Amino acid sequence: MSFFLKYISIFKYTFYDIILFGLLLNENHLFSIIGAIVLFSVLAYSTNSIILNSTDRNLYIEYLNAAVSVSQSCINQIREKPFDEKTITSIVTNTEFSQSLGPDGENYPNFDDIDDYNGYVFNDINTKYAGTFNSSIKVIYVDPGSLIKSSVPTRMKKITVATFSKSLPDTVKINYYSSY
C-alpha cells in the first residue's frame, strides 16, 4: 500500500513540476515549442501522404499488370487460329482472302479463324487479385509495309485487344500483327 501511495506522490510531484516548468517558460521558449509541434505535424502529414500515394501507385500497377495479362491471354487464344476462313484447308493469294471480317456463322468458342473475333467482347474475365475485366477485340487488314489500315484484303491482319475494368482508370490496348 505504501508503494502505491509513493507512486501517486511521485506522479503528483512530476505533474506539478511540469506545470511549474511551463509557468517558468518565457515567450521565446513557448514559440519554439509551438514551432516544433507545427513542424512535427507537417512532417507527420507528409509521411502519411507519401505512404498513401505509394499504396495507390502500387494498386494501379497491380491492376495494369492484370489488364496486360488478360489482354495477352486473349491474343494467345486468337493467334492459335488460322489466318483466314479460306486458309483453313488450302493456300490462297491476297485476292482470295475473306472480304468481311467477323464470324462466318460461328459463335464463340467455335471461332475457326482470326477475323471471327472481330467485334467480340470477352466479358467478366476474373483475376485473382485485381477483380473483373472485359476485353473487346478488333481485327482489320493492314498494309504489310506501312502497317496502316487497308481497305482491301492483304496478307497481314492487325488484332487490337482493348481491356478495361472499373478498377482501372485507363483502357489497356495491345496490338498483335498476324501475317500469312
**Each residue of 45-76: pLDDT tens digit?**
887 777 767 777 888 899 999 999 999 999 99
**Each residue of 125-152: pLDDT tens digit?**
988 888 899 999 999 999 999 999 999 9
Q: Are strands 121-127 and 131-141 parallel, antiparallel or unpaired?
A: antiparallel
Confidence (pLDDT) at 4 = 47
Quote the domain boundaries for residue 86: 2-179
Q: Count structural domains, the chain.
A: 1
**Each residue of 70-82: pLDDT tens digit?**
999 999 999 999 9
Q: What is the pTM of this model?
A: 0.70
Best CA proximity match to 123, nearest among 111, 112, 136, 110: 136
CA separation for the pair 30, 33 (Å, rounded): 5
What are the phi and psi torsion angles at 169 (to 5°)?
-70, -20
CA separation for the pair 177, 158 (Å, rounded): 5
Average pLDDT of every residue of the chain: 83
**Each residue of 1-59: pLDDT tens digit?**
444 444 445 555 455 555 555 555 555 666 777 777 788 888 888 877 777 677 778 88
User: How many CB atoms neighbour CB 150 within 10 A?
Assistant: 17
